[in-house]
Structure 1
Amino acid sequence: MVCERDLTWIKPSFLRMMYRCGWGAKEGQETVLAVEISRDGFDWALRNACLSSYARGVHADRAAWQRQLKRAPARVQWDPERDLHLQPRPYRSLQLGLSGEAARRYADEWTVAIRDVTPLAHEIHALVRSGDLDSANRLLPHEAPYPVEDAFLAHLQG
């Protein structure tokens, strides 16, 4: 089985990433990169992904889930979305872990652009600390629900 630390994680949510990296202040996570990937690549990863944890009704049983997880080049984890104070919101956002073929494709084929958003993270964080949430909200990257048909993600709804 692939160890969690052997995965490359895509966190499509800016605030979820800020929670993870502490606004770019956690040791070893001082640089925050926005990686743009192709729609085809992201869809391939979702089609070939398995939930990172067993879900009754999605998997026949735990053994079937473990076999699928071992073979899958990608895994999906649903974690609470975060607000500007990095507190959990009442809904979840997707994280996508890549290994093997998926990680190779991500690096060699799917990546369209890479931007350093560390200064943006620090600017938004400073606004949050000063209490200027309106200005902080205006600087957040635009994020919209990913447009897919429900059946496309049925195997990833846990």
Structure 2
Amino acid sequence: MKLTVKKYKEQVIEWPKSGCHIMAQYDDEKIIVYQAYRKEIGEFAVNNQYFGGQFSLSRMTWIKPNFLWMMYRSGWGTKEGQEVSLAIHLKISAFRNYLLNAVYTSYDQTEGISHDEWRSELENSSIRLQWDPDHDPNGVKQERKAIQIGLKDNFIKSFAQDDILFIEDISQFVKEQYEFVKNGQLENLSTPAEKSFVFDDEMLNRKLKIITEYAHGQ
């Protein structure tokens, strides 16, 4: 497994407790995002290192850079159709491009534009953006917000074929760590090492409501 992992208990004391944060594992070249699929789609992606086969290019796909938020959504890989957990090593340039072109799914999260302007942008955008409450390993809602990004049309095609550096199946790791969660042994739980990501672009950070005091990214 190419992911760098660290004890959850060591990480959680360093993570911001509230506000909008892109919690992720990243370097100068890539950022890790997560998805969960049924076996046919997940195995095709890992074996071919791109998304194809039964993967739909006509439906919006959502990516999540926060591991525990993905685990909350997939039930630690136990929900039907989400049994295969994938760690996708995504080009940092593609991630930035997605967010530059993203429109909030809810008008309540936008600032500085009218409802009609937001509606027009939403209808003409191929990328959706929303902040949702983050969750701890047991699924308890946190004050900190986690980001998810929805892609469709040309962006989903670019994501599926061109924007990915590496796809790995982390289902066994997820299964092993879930045993610690179920048994109340969080002291043994390891999760991908994550820290707050920000862009070297203040306008983009403001659009995303990111608090920039924690880290610097791309």
- The whole-number CA distance in structure 1 between the counterparts of 2:133 and 2:65 is 13
| Native 8 Å contact 1:80 1:89 kept in 2 | yes
Task: Give the 5 Å matches for 1:1-158.
Answer: 6-55=59-108, 58-136=111-189, 139-148=190-199, 149-157=201-209
Q: CA, structure 1 residues 56+33, in 2 after alignment: closer, same or farther (shift >3 Å)?
A: closer
Q: Secondary structure at the match of 2:96?
A: helix
The total of aligned residue pairs comes to 152
Describe the superposition over 1:10-42 as per-residue Cα deviations: whole angstroms up to 9, x where unpaired: 011111111111110111111111111000000
Task: Please report the TM-score for the alignment, with normalisation by the length of structure 1.
Answer: 0.89
Q: Secondary structure at the match of 2:111?
A: coil
| Structure 1 residue 57: Cα displacement | 6.0
Whichever structure has more helix as a proportion of its residues is 1
Moved >3 Å (runs of 4+) = none
In structure 1, the gaps of 5 or more residues are: none
Whichever structure has more strand as a proportion of its residues is 2
Which shows bigger deviation, 85-94 or 48-57?
48-57
| Native 8 Å contact 1:37 1:113 kept in 2 | yes
Please give the root-mean-square deviation of Cα atoms over the aligned residues, in Å: 1.8
Aligned residue type for 2:99:
L
In structure 2, the gaps of 5 or more residues are: 1-57, 211-218
Identity %: 32
